[in-house]
Amino acid sequence: MLVDFRCRLLTPEFNSILETGHVAREFEQFGHRKPSTMTMDDLLKGMEEAGIETVVSPGRDMETKGGSKVPLEHIAEMQNKYPGKIIGFGGIDCLKGHQAVRDVERSAELGLKGIMIDSMLCEVLANDRRLYPIYARCQHLKMPIIITCAGMGDPRWAAVRPVADVATDFPELKIIVSHTWPYLMDAIHLSVYFPNFFFELSGYFTWPGCDQIVAALNRRLIADHMIFASAFPVSPSLKRVVDRFRQFYGSVRQEVMEKVLRGNAERILGLG
């Protein structure tokens, strides 16, 4: 059974961030089924068909940029409703200053297992010193943090390399970069150097250059650092995503694939 490290839930609260802004444009561009036409039963059925035991469901808070927010309480409610299947990460608006730190603390109080920030969408680099109080509180509370960058975002703010400063300054903080492409060599380099750095390629794991990832996995350069993530429901069929992932990385050693598909995520989350 697998762990999926980026899977949004099919509820009105999550749909508010999936059917507005750039994400809504992606659904339209690729002709994908809108989340509001699906239900949590569809997600649970898809997990079973794909062999996914647990999903990490990160929220999002983009209020300072005029966007919407998934309430922390809703994420906790869904985690409690589906124990063992859903692990919630609180979505934090990284431009909210002291309120962002309080939201990290509130996430911990609610029993959420980690934090996610969208530094790229907030138009700041991951090593912007305004984000450091968030990192400090996450490290203190032993809460892993997902940093959404790279992918199709604005290249002025999407770079992965600035995460090196964060990994250096917060050595006990488990950092997961989401999407990662096209900064693949940077992710490989950071994986070799920083034991607290992890990454996933949700939505991009077959895009140009990912053959480098296959080679790095087989040389065990990133075997302990790469994790599987689907980007559901932007990629609407979990089984199709898992099948394509297994096919593209079919030459990777089985023991390494087991780490990517489950073991590394369990280590980050303290499972097993």
Q: Looking at per-residue confidence, does 59 or 24 come out higher?
A: 59
pLDDT value of residue 150: 82
| pLDDT confidence of residue 27 | 45
CB-based burial of residue 156 (10 Å sphere; 0-12 exposed, 13-18 middle, 19+ buried)? exposed
Amino acid at site 19: E
Greater pLDDT, 133 or 25: 133
What mean pLDDT, rounded, does the chain reach?
92
pLDDT at 16: 79
Is residue 31 over pLDDT 90? no
| pLDDT, tens digit (0-9, with 9 covering 90-100), for 32-81 | 556 667 789 999 999 999 999 999 999 999 999 888 899 999 999 999 99
Q: Is the pLDDT of residue 25 over 80?
A: no
Q: What is the pLDDT of residues 185-226, one digit of tens each?
A: 999 999 999 999 999 999 999 999 999 999 999 999 999 999
Convert the pLDDT of each residue in 69-100 to its tens digit.
999 999 999 999 999 999 999 999 999 999 99
Question: What predicted TM-score, i.e. pTM, was given to this entire model?
Answer: 0.94
